[in-house]
Structure 1
Amino acid sequence: MKYQNLYTPYTKKKTMANSNTLSLSTFTIIVLVLQLNFFSSNAEAAGVKGGYWYYDSGLDASAIDSSYFTHLFCAFADLDSNTNKITLPSSTFSTFTQTVQKKNPAVKTLLSIGGGGGPTLASKFSTMAKQNSSRKTFIDSSIQVARANNFHGLDLDWEYPNSNTDKTNLGFLLNEWRAAIKQEARISGKTQLLLSGAVSGSNQISPLQYYPAQAITNNMDWINVMVYDLFIPDGYRNSTQPPAPLYNPTGIFSGSEGINVSWINQLKVPPNKLAIGLPFYGYAWTLVNANVHGLFAGANGAGSIPSGGSTPVYRDIRSFINNGAQTVYNSTYVTNYCYSGTTWVGYDDTQSVSSKVSYAKSIGLIGYFAWQVGGDDNNWTLSKTASSIWGP
């Protein structure tokens, strides 16, 4: 939305009395201040070039090239099920913002809470969200920890709400969290903390019906839609698959289905509240026949590459390719794959990343995010590609 669309200048005749002119000036200043506050709290409208950093990924925070990002998520803080307070797993969290801003002073940081901890972690969130008192403890703790460690925002990674009760309680949590963030900013005089979240990207992963879409729209600056892990060896042992296709002519599960069909058209969350996920890793299958190596080729379950195992990050996949693996880009599904002997790997490379970021721009998404930056190669190839395609 352009600036001039938000404010139509209020003009008066030159013969107006001085007192009225003073009143007009005061009115104009107030309006301008309100506009500045609006744009300050909605700065993410310019775009989100996001990336998660996982503290145990092997990549030091000081090694992140933050110049390719507008937002970095520090993952993961935990939820103490006894106290409902936030705990940090490493002392590196306290210096994360200072560290990544050395290369990019403008980058914003968010403390990500939760992660893929399975049913045990999901149960912690479910229990915390059930009561007003425990929600308040969680919220107050999250704000305190974020401020104490110089983060610009908070990111909820509840994987996953899985009942109507969870849906209702998550809605309460988001309403109360936003209210608390606003109140804290008023009292402290600081800029409001950002509030984002990582959410399921498909019913293939976790039912989207258990997300409170209206509460998300009303209270969150944006959400990171995890449109990856759609087809993996654990569930599709007998044939190779595109792990994170943007399109899928043979089935409903894809990035575009998760974003456009599910989150935008069905759940009615505005495009400018959504960021598309980019996986900086892939999945390996074992081919039945080394000479039959396309998409949906016969497979005998998971495979493994020398460096990276069955779920190699992009850096390890590039090493596999440099050692002789053949590469293919499929524009129909928007996916890359490579193969050598009976080992086959589906992943995202520069072609698929470029197409996904272009897609995000074309439908008005707020941006993109990567899981996770430690998987990129030493030249930051995927991060650089995504940033360049999105533009300034």
Structure 2
Amino acid sequence: MSSKLTLPFIFSALIFLIHLNFSSGQTVVKAAYWFPDSGFPAASINSSLFTHLFCAFADLNTTTYQVTVSSSNSAPFSSFTQTVQQKNPAVKTLLSIGGGNSNPATFAAMASQATRRKAFINSSITLARSYNFHGLDLDWEYPSSTTEMTNFGTLLTEWRTAVANESKTTGKTALLLAAAVFRSADYYSINYPFQSISNSLDWINVMAYDFYGPGWFPNNTAPPAALSASSVNGDAGITSWIKAGLAPKKIVLGLPFYGYAWRLLDANNHGIFAPANGSGIGTYGDQGYSQIKDFISQNAAQTVYNATVVTNYCYSGKTWIGYDDTQSISAKVSYAKTTKGLLGYFAWHVGADSSNWALSQAAASTWG
């Protein structure tokens, strides 16, 4: 065997050293997203219930590929960290970039060229520092081809290197890096870049929700975020990430603080997967937890917890709502901590639980 160090060996060693350098030392993530369009002020967040809070969303410029914040969000974003630390000085904040309403083609275009990736990376670090965030979160929904997944991995590798270099140059603690990802380790058979994710991110936020909704599954009621015993479920997704080689302590389980409403065809047939005809409330059927609790109270709705599927639902007349209540939230957090040994959980979104913090308290107390 040659005594010379090969380039692959040197590269692997460098990646290992970078990994050691950026290790966040996080023992748990109890997190939630906040966004100003929810109408819920950041100052009202009970931040004592969280270890991390995500401020959503920064934008990606379609021509410069720099990360920006709209003029309307500049004030609340720039003061977010200071605001939430008033109730919990230890809480960490991350600026989230993208989101479900952003154009995935813009992210694909950015990640496809080195100069564009550099523009994204440098501007994201500058913005995070100027707004006093502790980290950055990429929410690209979703890389949808093999090439895009490869470019996504390259972006993460370069992002981590830049963050490490900035930390070394400034003497500041390295920014945390996270990413919100699809419910499973492949996006409809297209694999995520597992090694780049493992080497470059502090953790991933697995969006284990939006499995069913009346907008795309109109003909039957369904559990929007089933943990098990459903053709699409959270456990299958989490298990796929672990089987792909990602350490459980790199994985954070997503919890929905909202649900979806269907309109039953027959008010007397009201179980899970009962026949339905589209949305039961509004255009899309989406309802925040506080709204759902109001519906239950105002309509004397019947409530059911299904421990096998791990979901709650309620019904009144022909309106049927699938959602997570304290029982399913507690069961999912217990699953994340005890069954799978994950790093923690996050919720979308904090404003939906603001009436009495029941879900956030249930999650925090279950984890301990």
The alignment's TM-score, normalised by the length of structure 1, stands at 0.85
Q: How many residues are aligned here?
A: 345
| Aligned counterparts, 1:204-283, within 5 A | 206-207=187-188, 209-248=190-229, 250-251=230-231, 253-260=232-239, 262-265=240-243, 267-283=244-260
Per-residue deviation, 1:208? 5.9
Change (3 A) 1:150 1:355: same
CA contact (8 A) 2:93 2:134 kept: yes
CA contact (8 A) 2:214 2:285 kept: no
| Aligned counterparts, 1:101-250, within 5 A | 101-117=85-101, 121-202=103-184, 206-207=187-188, 209-248=190-229, 250=230
CA distance in structure 1 between the aligned counterparts of 2:301 and 2:189, rounded to whole angstroms = 37
CA contact (8 A) 2:208 2:233 kept: yes
The answer as to 2:297 corresponding to 1:322 is yes
Aligned residue identity for 1:52? Y
Aligned residue identity for 1:325? A
Change (3 A) 1:83 1:365: same
Q: Which residue matches 2:335?
A: 359
Per-residue deviation, 1:209? 2.4
CA distance in structure 2 between the aligned counterparts of 1:184 and 1:126, rounded to whole angstroms = 25
CA distance in structure 2 between the aligned counterparts of 1:114 and 1:143, rounded to whole angstroms = 15
Paired residue secondary structure (2:287): coil
Superposed CA RMSD: 1.8
CA contact (8 A) 1:161 1:210 kept: no
Mean CA deviation greater in 60-69 or 195-204? 195-204
CA contact (8 A) 1:166 1:210 kept: no
Aligned residue identity for 1:114? G
CA distance in structure 2 between the aligned counterparts of 1:208 and 1:115, rounded to whole angstroms = 22
Paired residue secondary structure (1:43): coil
Mean CA deviation greater in 281-290 or 228-237? 228-237
Aligned residue identity for 1:258? G
Instruction: Calculate percent identity across the aligned residue pairs.
Output: 56
Paired residue secondary structure (1:352): helix
- CA deviations 1:56-112 (Å, max 9, x no partner) are 111000010000000000000000011111111212100000000000000000000
Q: Which residue matches 1:11?
A: none
CA distance in structure 2 between the aligned counterparts of 1:47 and 1:279, rounded to whole angstroms = 19
CA contact (8 A) 1:200 1:208 kept: no
Name stretches of at least 5 consecutive residues in structure 1 with no aligned partner.
1-36
Aligned residue identity for 1:341? G
CA contact (8 A) 2:185 2:192 kept: no
Q: Which among 335, 339, 345 is matched to residue 368 of structure 1?
A: 345
Structure showing greater radius of gyration is 1
| Aligned counterparts, 1:306-317, within 5 A | 310-317=285-292
The answer as to 2:365 corresponding to 1:381 is no
- CA deviations 1:200-242 (Å, max 9, x no partner) are 10489x4362421110001000000001001111232221101
Q: Which residue matches 2:15?
A: none
Name stretches of at least 5 consecutive residues in structure 2 with no aligned partner.
1-18
